[in-house]
Structure 1
Amino acid sequence: MNSRQRSGLVPIWQFALGVTLSVAGAAHAEDMKIYRSYDATGKVPTFSDRPLDRSSRIYAVFDGKQLWPHSGGGPVSLPQLAARRHALEPLVQRIAGMHGIHAALLKAIIEVESGFDAGARSPKGAIGLMQVMPATAARYGQFNLYSPEQNVEVGARYLRDLLAMFDGNVRLAVAAYNAGENAVIRHGRRVPPYQETIRYVPMVMERYDRFRARAGS
């Protein structure tokens, strides 16, 4: 199975679900993994039931009944993800307004980074909703990064500074959030050619566009 879909033509989960159901009768669907890979531009995703190349990462797991997204915090059902997002909506809206950032952008980063899991911790030591590194948080003061409010606060401050640094270019600010501002500057103020960052930026931008459309802006 190998299906291509340019990001943005249909809701990404609708497309992935269609891919899954198309093979459910021909393969053992229980615990079937869906992989997402990207072409050389890092913009066009390919969904498959097996890794295709070094860019391939698990995108979701199908347990025979339900498609489970795979986020930074691990597999989470779509209803769980929606419930977490809804619960954090007032907090995200308030902090986004305080720092002049679109709430849709904060939500997009939180969803990609942690799946709205305040207890998430990466192998590299990034913590909480926005997967903030302690060294980054230390630039702004002392924070409990497992506190949803404090984590989003310091993440929003960092994102605000990145947007200012890159003249409001959201794509570059998102790339810098993942790879660091020095990496973006070192590569000519372009998205660094790191596989992780090449995958990360379209994931955030797809959600950013979707959340903005829902907000009617």
Structure 2
Amino acid sequence: MTEIEAIIALVTKAGGRKSLYHFTRAGNLPAISQFDALWSSSRIMQDSTGERRLAAAEVHVDGYSLTVNSHLRIPESMMDAGVTLEQFRACLDQHVFLWPTIRDCRKMLDTYTRREPDAAFAVLEFDAKALLTSCSEAVKLSKYDSGSSPRFPNNCGYRKSPAMFLPLAEFGRVGSSTVPAKAAEIKEVLVEDQLRHMSRFLRAVYAANASDVPAAWQGIVKSLAAFGES
């Protein structure tokens, strides 16, 4: 077993960490299926500069529609010294985000459902070990929900910066409280730029309406309402 294989085995050892989950809008599914990829916001919106998106933005690529979510508000007080909000948002936009547990993904789903009760959302479930193995050099790990602000930012014990994203190969090597030191501390999994050939790792597609799911994935459709329920 190589060193990176050992790290991936450790990260995915727990029963609740065998999958990775990507939250998206149901309207993005046809494009995701067509291109067989998950793209970062900066790949979709190549003129993005880190300026805050106050609303979701719809972009058309080769005849397909993709909606990029808005940026959540992060107060200046949450930023590390020498890092601006624009620089940090630009960094976020360069990554595809995955949740390592059902609980974390469910929390995001519930949050967006409350904010946009008329919108349709979906969750893609991937085989964690296979996905991480396929793009290990592009994977980073975060101990915190990087794109949002804690409820009480002034009492928070960390500050946001690109340094909070730990390359997968350095897991277990870095002695910093800002990055995860054990698998249970991993809150987010990021993939730089894009996740290609993603259908190879796709286990299930959770959607409220099966008709929103492309034909190629009809055999793995599951009810979004049942996502996270035992």
Q: State the TM-score, normalizing by the size of structure 2.
A: 0.24
| Higher-RCO chain (CA-CA 8 Å, sequence separation at least 6) | 2
Q: Which has the higher strand share?
A: 2
Q: State the TM-score, normalizing by the size of structure 1.
A: 0.25
